[in-house]
A and B are shown apart, each in its own frame.
Chain A
Amino acid sequence: MACNKSALTLCLLLTLLLLPLATPAVQDAPPLTPEDLEVLLGEEVFSLDVPAAPLLRALDQKGIRLTVREVDSCLFPGKDREFSDEQILIGTLPRGARGADVVETIMALGGEYMTRRGISIGSTGQDVLAAYGEAALKDYDLLIYCLPGQPDGPWLVFVMDLEKDAVLSFYAVLNTQG
């Protein structure tokens, strides 16, 4: 009996010792910062909450031709717009000076777009975990990260291919409320 107890204690100790090795070091990932909401394409940096016009001009100069879809905005006088191609979607709300479009969403759907922490389409769930830690909210195929203390504020969201455990697309959104 005493032997069993010792063995049990030893097993417990070993488990406790090995547990940190088996657990990914998610605590080490620093919390999300406003800079983490930027999306990179090479040396280009796409940011939220800025006038959309310069970004759209820059994309146009790079030869990236986006089609526009617009609907009446719920929250602001003017139109909500989505500028997109197969690889990127820029969502805007007309809440800038004199109704100017302001970037609300940047959604990477394909290509070489990357987050500040090096996650791109095709990165694995483990890559995301290592870069960002545990998601604030896991919703089926979404890994949702928010700024500390702002659960309903801006989000960085990874849409996962659950079969392949790979990032299918990702987006940063301000979650602007009225």
Chain B
Amino acid sequence: MDCTPAPAKNKFAFSARRAAIVVTLALLMTLTMLQGTAEGPEVETTQGYFLTETNLYAQPDRSGEVLLRIPQYTPFVIRVSADPAQKGFGWTQVADVSGYVSLANLLPMPKVFSDWREGKTMFAWDVRLLREQSLHGAEVLLRLLPETPFTVLGRTKFMLYVEAQGVRGYIYADKLEELRCDQPLEPSLRYSAMEQPLLSWPLAGAQPLIDLKAGQLLRVTGQNRAYLRVEVMDQVGYVQRQHTGAIGEVAEQTMLVYSQTASPLYSGVDDARPAGQTMEPGRLYQVDAQAGDFLRLKDSGLFARAEGVQALLLEAFAAPRLAGVDAPRALMGLPEADSANDRWLQPGRLYTFLSSSGNWWYVDDGLVQGFVDVRHLTPLPERGEKMNRTYAVYTGEAAFLPGSSQLQPVVPGQLVELNELWGKQWFRTGQGSYVHIGAVDILASDAPVRPHKVILDQALTMYSLPDEVRGRAIAALDAGEQVEVIGFARYFLLLRARGMEGYVVGKTLKTHETRYLPDTDPPPCEILVNKADFSVSLYALDARGQRYGEPILRGIAALGKRSTPTPSGRFPLGYKQRWVRFSQSQAPHAITYLRGRYLHGIPCYGPDEAQVTEWGLQELGTLSSGGCVRMTFDMAAYLYFNCPSYKTIMEVVNGLQ
């Protein structure tokens, strides 16, 4: 404290309460006197208490009915009548009950004396009850939280007489600590590291003066205990040092400043040399250093006076977060601002966000700058999903370089290999750039099968790609030649032959393992999972991409149990595995729809359908999985071969409207 404390704000509220208490007491005493007047002229009113429990009698008679047992140290207002019939008794009221108490051991109220602590500001480390009178049974006026400051006014033989938060009363005097004066400090600049109140005293229980925002600049002028005395917006108050930061120490955070007016900029701070430039009103500038009352702006290296700017503190993401938008979204100049600046985020593009202020993400990539509510963003997850080898051609004209929002021009029709799926709408290419799902046409995606050997019954051409037009013929395989089938893509089988890998049209080489390989490209389709009846249905899509007609295939599934429900929503099919290994079982023909969540066949004890689990069979049509969609072997295998990954959607609903 600087020994001139900031004023308490709610004096009026407590004065009013105190006034109400005083009025009530006065009324009680008046009523008592009026009653006395009615019964006889010689009435005396007194206050006191008892050291022991006391009976409240219905009549001034110890042998009479006892109305109440009154705890010791309870203060009384007692009317003492001169009536001989009431000799030795006084009339009083406790709560709503009135009666007589024996005056034999009545003690006068404790008197207030001066005390060596008088005038000092003190506090307790624990909760203290501020009582109306210096007795344990007196009414509690306030509950003082730990470190609530109070001023000592005097003492009684039991308690200290103090004023706290504008209310005067009594507290026990043990284990109190005096608040010393502030130590002055050379004025310096720090910032509030979080949203917090500016306190009227350097104590946790002190009253808040104003709310400080994260990043708000504070002019430090002193310290007391673990608190700094700071000036901010014409207020002087205290904040915990650990909840402030030195601007030069900003590491995990980014400080931005802005000015409402064209504040001048300075090229040096020693003699405040004007640089002949001003801040653009409303524009955000990143701060990278501090010198006294000046802040250095990162881009220009020029200095702004701290008193002329307002500051924002942004939390840096552990790694840059990429996000897009589904519709054009205006960027705001400031978080929660009403008006947008003139820059927009456009759908189909990817933006890099480095930091945030609450739910507002901040982008500044040299092209766009500002804040957007994260609810309007489609953020990519923090890591991508592994993909099967996937071939695509660009249909759009741009991809995005990693770590920035800058366009990387691409040639429409150019072949590209996609390596990772990021969220539901973005791929990472083999070149390390990001491309929107709408800017590529997926040609084909590999999926593994159980490796097996077959003998060609006719000559076949082996291609470099699963596409007879785009693929290059890499070998002419002869009839009778033995090859190893290791996977498939579209209607091609992926083979190993003559020391090479390549694709052949697969319809003449099908085995039980590849029995559901389509003979031509399967029609666009969508899977519908209805949690209401455990059904899984495969539908063809019309030209508008809508499900139509009767299902091509329909079956029943085991879905997520109540504690691990299969989530609702639309999910693109992703990574395919011939066998997915769980902690205690393996399941065939698994297609990822979320990280760790699959469509798959009935779990088996090993990588062999002959080792099917009996519980897996029994649980079809129940809520029993960990969130996966478990189907019969045939259903899972059919979807595996006929629903191309990254092109097919699975929709999970909880019932149909």
Interface positions of A (Cβ within 8 A of B): 31, 71-78, 80, 82, 89-93, 104-105, 107, 137, 139-142, 144, 148-152, 155, 173, 175-178
Given A74-B628, A140-B653, A149-B374, are A105 and B583 neighbors across the interface (CB < 8 Å)? no
Nearest CB in chain B: distance from A100 CB, A = 15
The answer to whether A142 and B583 have CB atoms under 8 Å apart is no
Contacts of A72 in B (CB 8 A): 582-585
Residues of A close to B582: CB separation below 8 A: 72-75
Chain B nearest CB, measured from A98 CB (Å): 15
Cα separation A115 to B538 with both chains bound (whole Å): 38
The interface centre, meaning the residue of B569, B583, B595, B624 with most chain A CB atoms within 10 A of its CB, is: B583
Q: Which residues of B contact A104 (CB under 8 A)?
A: 563-564
Cβ-closest chain B residue relative to A138? B568
* Chain B residues whose C-beta falls within 8 Å of the C-beta of A142 in the assembled complex: 568, 654
| Residue in B closest to A77 when the chains form the complex, CB atoms | B583
B interface SS class? loop
Question: Complex Cα distance A139/B594, Å?
Answer: 18
Given contacts A74-B625, A149-B377, contact A177 B595 (CB under 8 A): yes
Please tell me if the beta carbons of A155 and B626 are within 8 angstroms of each other in the complex. Answer: no
User: How far, in angstroms, from A93 to B654 measured CA to CA in the complex?
Assistant: 24
A178 adjacent to B583 (CB under 8 Å):
no
What is the size, in residues, of chain B's interface with A at 8 Å between Cβ atoms? 38
The 21 listed contacts between A and B (C-beta, < 8 Å) are: A74-B582, A74-B596, A75-B582, A80-B626, A82-B563, A93-B564, A104-B563, A105-B563, A105-B564, A107-B562, A139-B569, A139-B654, A140-B657, A148-B359, A148-B374, A149-B377, A151-B378, A152-B594, A155-B567, A177-B595, A178-B597
Task: Mark B375-400 against chain A: 1 for CB-CB distance below 8 A, else 0.
Answer: 10111010000000000000000000
Give the CA-CA distance A90 to B562 in the complex, in Å. Answer: 10
Any A CB within 8 A of the CB of B97 = no
- Flag if A82 contacts B323 (CB, 8 Å): no
The yes or no answer to B104 lying at the interface (CB within 8 A) is: no
The 10 closest A-B pairs by CB, nearest first: A91-B563, A178-B596, A74-B626, A140-B655, A139-B568, A177-B595, A105-B563, A177-B596, A149-B374, A148-B374
Q: Is the CB of A178 within 8 A of B595?
A: yes
Which of A77, A107, A150, A177 touches B563 (beta carbons < 8 Å)? Answer: A107
Q: Mark B338-379, 1 if CB is under 8 A from A, else 0.
A: 000000000000000000000101000000000001110111
For residue B532, CB closer than 8 A to chain A, the reply is yes
The answer to whether A140 and B656 have CB atoms under 8 Å apart is yes
Which residues of chain A come closer than 8 Å to B565, judged between CB atoms?
A: 105, 173
Q: Is B453 at the interface (CB under 8 A from chain A)?
A: no
Question: Chain B's nearest CB lies how many Å from the CB of A108?
Answer: 12
A89 near B595: Cβ-Cβ < 8 Å = no
In the complex the two chains form, what is the Cα distance from A43 to B24 in whole Å?
35
B561 interface residue, CB < 8 Å from A?
yes
Measured in the bound complex, the distance between the Cα atoms of B618 and A71 in whole Å is 14
User: Considering the chains assembled together, what is the distance between the CA atoms of A1 and B656 in angstroms?
Assistant: 48
Residues of A within 8 A of B654 (CB): 139-142
Bound complex: CA A142 to CA B654 (Å): 7
Min CB distance A122 to B, Å, is 20
| Chain B, Cβ-Cβ closest to A140 | B655
Q: Is the CB of A92 within 8 A of B656?
A: no
How far in angstroms is the closest Cβ of chain B from A121? 16
Identify B375's interface contact among A31, A173, A175, A177, CB under 8 A. Answer: A31
Q: How far is the CB of A174 from chain B (nearest CB, A)?
A: 9
Given contacts A107-B563, A149-B374, contact A73 B626 (CB under 8 A): yes
Q: Is the CB of A91 within 8 A of B562?
A: yes
Pick from A78, A144, A148, A176: contact of B583, CB under 8 Å: A78
**How far apart are B264's CB and chain A's nearest CB, in angstroms?**
39
Q: Which residues of A contact B626 (CB under 8 A)?
A: 73-75, 80
Task: List chain B residues, Cβ under 8 A from A148.
Answer: 359, 373-375
Q: How far is the CA of A77 from the CA of B595 in the complex (A)?
A: 17
Given contacts A73-B582, A152-B381, 12 further A-B contacts (CB under 8 A): A89-B562, A93-B564, A139-B654, A140-B532, A141-B655, A148-B375, A149-B361, A173-B564, A175-B627, A177-B594, A177-B595, A177-B597
Q: How far is the CA of A107 from the CA of B567 in the complex (A)?
A: 15
Q: B554-599: which have CB < 8 Å to A?
A: 561-565, 567-569, 582-585, 594-597
Distance to closest chain A CB from B576 (angstroms): 16
- Please give, as numbers and ranges, the residues of chain B lying within 8 Å of A90 by CB-CB distance: 563
**For the complex, what is the distance from the CA of A105 to the CA of B374, rounded to whole Å?**
25
B12 to nearest A CB, angstroms? 31
Interchain CB contact under 8 A, A175 and B374: no
Chain A residues within an 8 Å CB radius of B583: 72-78
